Amino acid sequence: MSEWHGFVRRHLPPLGIEPTREIEIVDELALQLESAYESAKARGASEEDARAQASVEVPDWAALAATLARIERPTAARPTLGSPRAVGFMSGFIQDLRYGTRALMRSSGFAVVAAATLALGIAAATIVYSLVDGILVRPLPIHEPDRVVLARELTPQGVDMSLSWPNFVDWQARATSFDGVAAWRGIPSNLTGIDTPRRILVRQVTWNLFSVLGVRPLLGRDLTSADEQYGVDRVCLVSYGFWQRELGGDASAIGRRITLDDTPVTVVGVLPADFTVARQEDAFLPFGNFYPPGHFMLARGNHNGIALIARLRADVTLDEARAELAVIARQLAEEYPNTNSGQGATVQPLMEVLVGPVRTTLTILLAAVGVMLLIACVNIANLLLVRGATRAQELEIRLALGAGRWRVVRQLLTESVLLGVLGGAAGVALAYAGFDAALALLPEDQPRLHTVALDGRVLAASGALSIATGLLFGLIPALQAGSRGGAALLRSARVSGAVGARQNTRRALLVAELALAVVLLAGAGLMVRTMGNLLAIDLGFEPSQVLSARVSLPPARYPAAARLDFVSRVEDRLRSLPGVADAAFTISLPVQGSNWNSVFIVEKLPVPPRADLPSAAWTPVTPSYFQTMGIRLLRGRTFEASDRLGVPEVAVVNETFARRFWPNGDALGQRIKQGWPEDQTPWRQIVGIVNDVKTAGVDQPAAMQAYLPMAQVPQTSLTAVVRTQDDAPRLAGPLESAILEVDATLPVYDVRTMDQVIERGVAQQRLLMVLLVGFGGIALVLAALGVFAVTAYSVSQRRHELGVRIALGADRGGVLRLVLRQGLATCAVGIAIGLAAALTVTRVLETLLFEITPYDAPTLAGITAMLLLVAGAACFVPAHRATKVDPVTALRAE
Partner 1 sequence: MRPTYMPQTDVSARALQKGSAEFLVLAVLDGPQRHGYEIAQLIETRSDGRLKFPAATLYPLLYKLEKRGFVEGRWVEKAGQRRRRFYRLTAAGRSALGERRKAWQSFFEALDRVARVKPA
The residue ranges that bind partner 1 (CB under 8 A) are 2, 24-25, 27-29, 31-33, 35-36, 56-60, 63-64, 67-68, 71-72, 74
**Of 18 and 801, CB closest to partner 1:** 18
Strands 235-238 and 263-270: parallel
Cβ–Cβ under 8 Å, residues 746 and 553: yes
Cβ–Cβ under 8 Å, residues 816 and 880: yes
Separation CA 235–CA 207 (nearest Å): 11
On the 0-12 / 13-18 / 19+ scale of CB atoms within 10 A, 658 is: buried
N-term to C-term CA, the chain: 25
**Of 69 and 124, CB closest to partner 1:** 69
Rounded least distance, CB 15 to partner 1, Å: 11
Rounded least distance, CB 23 to partner 1, Å: 11
Separation CA 261–CA 197 (nearest Å): 10
Which residues are CB-neighbours of 211 under 8 A, at least 6 positions away? Answer: 180, 222
**Of 23 and 560, CB closest to partner 1:** 23
Rounded least distance, CB 18 to partner 1, Å: 13
Separation CA 570–CA 865 (nearest Å): 56
Rounded least distance, CB 28 to partner 1, Å: 6
Dihedrals phi, psi of 768, to nearest 5 degrees: -60, -45
Alpha-carbon 337 to chain mean position = 45
Rounded least distance, CB 78 to partner 1, Å: 13
Rounded least distance, CB 398 to partner 1, Å: 20
Rounded least distance, CB 86 to partner 1, Å: 15
3-state secondary structure 100-144: HHHHHHHCHHHHHHHHHHHHHHHHHHHHHHHHHHHHHHCCCCCCC
Rounded least distance, CB 65 to partner 1, Å: 10
Rounded least distance, CB 82 to partner 1, Å: 14
**Of 63 and 556, CB closest to partner 1:** 63
Rounded least distance, CB 52 to partner 1, Å: 12
Rounded least distance, CB 35 to partner 1, Å: 4
Which residues are CB-neighbours of 551 under 8 A, at least 6 positions away? Answer: 718, 719, 720, 739, 746, 747, 748, 749
**Of 32 and 263, CB closest to partner 1:** 32
Rounded least distance, CB 524 to partner 1, Å: 57
**Of 26 and 721, CB closest to partner 1:** 26
Cβ–Cβ under 8 Å, residues 199 and 747: yes
Element (H, E) at 193: none
Separation CA 88–CA 9 (nearest Å): 19
Q: At what angle do helices 405-440 and 84-106 cross, to 10 degrees?
A: 60
**Of 26 and 762, CB closest to partner 1:** 26
Separation CA 216–CA 218 (nearest Å): 6
Nearest to 670 by CA among 681, 658, 678, 682: 658
**Of 15 and 403, CB closest to partner 1:** 15
Nearest to 244 by CA among 265, 270, 279, 224: 270
Cβ–Cβ under 8 Å, residues 542 and 630: yes
**Of 63 and 869, CB closest to partner 1:** 63
**Of 56 and 888, CB closest to partner 1:** 56
**Of 56 and 561, CB closest to partner 1:** 56
Q: Label residues 688-727 b or e (16+ Cβ within 10 Å = b).
A: bbbbbbbbbebbeebbbbbbbbbbbbbbbebbbbbbbeee
Rounded least distance, CB 379 to partner 1, Å: 41
Strand partners, 259: 192, 264
Rounded least distance, CB 58 to partner 1, Å: 4
**Of 17 and 792, CB closest to partner 1:** 17
Alpha-carbon 87 to chain mean position = 46
Cα 295 to Cα 166, 171, 340, distances in angstroms: 12, 20, 19
One-character DSSP codes across 31-81: HHHHHHHHHHHHTT--HHHHHHHHHTT-S-HHHHHHHHHHHH-TTPPPP-S
Cβ–Cβ under 8 Å, residues 97 and 414: yes
**Of 10 and 892, CB closest to partner 1:** 10
**Of 69 and 135, CB closest to partner 1:** 69
**Of 2 and 496, CB closest to partner 1:** 2
Rounded least distance, CB 59 to partner 1, Å: 5
**Of 61 and 291, CB closest to partner 1:** 61
Nearest to 774 by CA among 472, 474, 372, 259: 372
Element (H, E) at 581: strand 580-586
**Of 72 and 320, CB closest to partner 1:** 72
**Of 29 and 358, CB closest to partner 1:** 29
Rounded least distance, CB 831 to partner 1, Å: 55
Entry field: residues in the chain: 894
One-character DSSP codes across 293-350: TT-GGG-TT---SBEEEEEE-TT--HHHHHHHHHHHHHHHHHH-HHHHTT-EEEEEEH
Rounded least distance, CB 68 to partner 1, Å: 6
Rounded least distance, CB 514 to partner 1, Å: 51
Cβ–Cβ under 8 Å, residues 207 and 290: no
Alpha helix positions (H), 497-587: 500-536, 560-576
